[in-house]
Amino acid sequence: MADAGFLDHANDILINVYGFWPVQMAKGKGVYLYDTEGHKYLDFGAGIAVNNLGYAHPVYTKALKKQIDKLHMGLCYIADEKRIAAAETILAISEFDQVFFCSTGAEAVEGALKTARKWATETHGADKHEFVYMKNSFHGRTMGALSVIGQQHYRDGFEPLLQGTRMAEFNNLDSVKKLVSAKTAAIILEPVMGEGGIIPATPEFLHGLRALCDEHDIALIFDEVQCGMGRIGEIFAYEHYGLVPDLICLAKGLGAGFPVGAYMGKKKFTSHITPGSHGSTYGGNPLATTAVTTVIKEMLKPGFMDNVNKVGQVLKDGLEEIARDSNLLSNVRGLGMLLAADYNGGPVKDFVKKCLKNGLIVLSCGENAVRIVPPLILTEKQAKEGLAILKKTLAQV
């Protein structure tokens, strides 16, 4: 555990928006983290669904070390070979025409919103500028992203936000239809809601949105920052549902720990973003795009996605078994390795800290849910190890 003096110092000099845990991590290997006192932790948090390849992955670290010796940063005006390679790699496995690389998920959301609005106003006129978003959604912490977040506590203290946004009910198509008008430029949502509690969209809802957007010429934006990049058992979450959005936002697992985000789209929409209308100083730098290409190639190797689905099912089955035996856990849900269950034993953040003391890192989400988002390289044996610690911690409660 971290020294109390160290935590006091951290709270003094850092703007502490996280509520630091009482631990200092020194290194990571595979799906395990080790603190400065040598204690070992099985990681079911993965940097908030980021570290898809775990820690110190040999192919990943070798690629980044090799690139940093050559060129770590270049001018955004130069389309270097690493950016082109990353673009070719990700577009080849998607249904989109163009990609813009940035640094974060919130930045990807901002780019998609700007693209949708610019397309809509230039195509249909200035009145077509509104966005429809979902209750309990999460899209990032910048002002534009906050404007389409469906959780008030994230917005408190920062309003008034972007005007022309309307909130619908997730998985309720009629609620969306009531808000759609000639002014609607785009509908934005997470195919699997993340911070809102790990709630998958129903296929009927997403296909209904696709038809609605086609009927009214509205851009459909999928925020796959958390649920994309293999997290639910497909490279892209939209593949699980058998439909394609017009714009898609990515980050987190896209760089497996290196800060990188992106949004992709059809040229019908992205062609409206012209030189000078958008940008990102660090977006698409050689190190970031090397990470992107390396991550995707690893995930495309035979057996990788099979492991996500197989071990993800082991986790889900194990959680359901624990829930049957304990009244402290209920409502197990999710897809692939994006899972959650409601915790009924008091504040969920207290339970998260109890798991930490027992050597297991889990996260919270929503009002009372335990979130399970391990590295995608997790094995069946390691999954059962984590479930055993979870069960032990519940027994202690």
DSSP 8-class letter at 258: S
Q: Say what the pLDDT of residue 78 is.
A: 84
Which is it for the CA torsion 260, 264, 267, 269, positive or negative? Answer: negative
Question: Which residues does 108 contact at the CB level (< 8 Å), separation at least 6?
Answer: 102, 225, 249, 250, 251, 261, 262, 263
Domains and CATH numbers, the chain: 4-57+303-396 (3.90.1150.10), 71-299 (3.40.640.10)
Q: Say what the pLDDT of residue 2 is.
A: 65
CB atoms within 10 A of CB 19: 7
pLDDT tens, N- to C-terminus, the chain (397 residues): 667 788 889 888 999 888 888 899 999 999 999 999 999 999 999 999 999 999 999 999 999 999 999 999 988 888 899 999 999 999 999 999 999 999 999 999 999 999 999 999 999 999 999 999 999 999 999 999 999 999 999 999 999 999 999 999 999 999 999 999 999 999 999 999 999 999 999 999 999 999 999 999 999 999 999 999 999 999 999 999 999 999 999 999 999 999 999 999 999 999 999 999 999 999 999 999 999 999 999 999 999 999 999 999 999 999 999 999 999 999 999 999 999 999 999 999 999 999 999 999 999 998 899 999 999 999 999 999 999 999 999 999 8
